[in-house]
Amino acid sequence: MTDTLYKRPFSPLAAFAGLALLAVLAGCGNENATASDSKTDVSVEAQGPASEIAPKIAMGDMMQGNPESPVTVIEFASMTCSHCAGFHKHVYPRLKENYIDTGKINFVFREFPLDAYALEASIMARCAGKDRYFEVVHEVFVRQEEWILASSPSKIRSRLRAIGEDLGITASMYETCQENEALQKRIAAKAAEGRTRYDVSGTPAIVVNGQLVEGGANYNTLARHIEGLLSGDQ
């Protein structure tokens, strides 16, 4: 398949619903916005009904591959971005097969929600816990048109919740996670860091060893960049 550069411009208007409120929650000049990349993941147990096991929400960086690799690839993505969905359908599988599963790179996925629906989907994925996080992310992207093209906001959320239920995220777990302010602040801080530290202005955005890679959403471009770092040529 011909490689395509998947890119969606950042829209302040679209981002306002999801991130303006989060910026307030996170606080101006949040000290976490310039924190070093986390090498560990922390899960917290949310409070839920006594009759149901509370979800263990994944709070730290979501990583795959080899955390000791000299090459760290960070993807910033919005769950409602069609180009991000394209990246996860056509580019990410090759990246995973050739570089993540082989332990050649450390891969970090960071949410960069462009709207309230993307934020809701991001929180839902975190609600699954670190062991199933990437499974939920994959399903949300693969089935993106199924939920994001629904005819009304209520139907969009209903279909998103249905995807969560297919993956074992109950309605109660879903609502408990959506109300978790610590998680909202975490996502806001990392999105802000993407803008201020890495100049992320659209999604998907690929950062390799701290540098935003132009055209990094193209597999061949990204692979060449990774190979150059692994061989010491860059």
Q: CATH number of the domain at 207, please.
A: 3.40.30.10
Q: Which amino acid is at 179?
A: E
How far is C-alpha 149 from the chain's CA centre?
Answer: 20
Instruction: Give domain status of residue 116, yes or no.
Output: yes
Number of separate domains in the chain: 1
Question: Could you tell me how many residues make up the chain?
Answer: 234
Instruction: Give domain status of residue 47, yes or no.
Output: no
Instruction: Give domain status of residue 115, yes or no.
Output: yes
**Average pLDDT score, the chain:** 83
Residue 29 has pLDDT above 60, yes or no: no
Instruction: Give domain status of residue 26, yes or no.
Output: yes
Share of the chain above pLDDT 90, in %: 73
Instruction: Give domain status of residue 105, yes or no.
Output: yes
Instruction: Give domain status of residue 123, yes or no.
Output: yes
Choose among 44, 76, 69: nearest CA to 58.
Answer: 44
- Structure tokens belonging to residue 185: 């602040």
Instruction: Give domain status of residue 144, yes or no.
Output: yes
> Rounded to whole angstroms, how far apart are CA atoms 197 and 67?
21
Q: Cβ neighbours of residue 146 under 8 Å, at least 6 residues apart?
A: 159, 163
How confident is the model over 86-133, as pLDDT tens digits? 999 999 999 999 999 999 999 999 999 999 999 999 999 999 999 999
Task: State residue 40's pLDDT score.
Answer: 38
Strand pairing category for 106-111 and 72-77 = parallel
**Host domain of residue 178:** 11-35+55-231
Task: State residue 64's pLDDT score.
Answer: 98
How confident is the model over 55-85, as pLDDT tens digits? 678 778 999 999 999 999 999 999 999 999 9
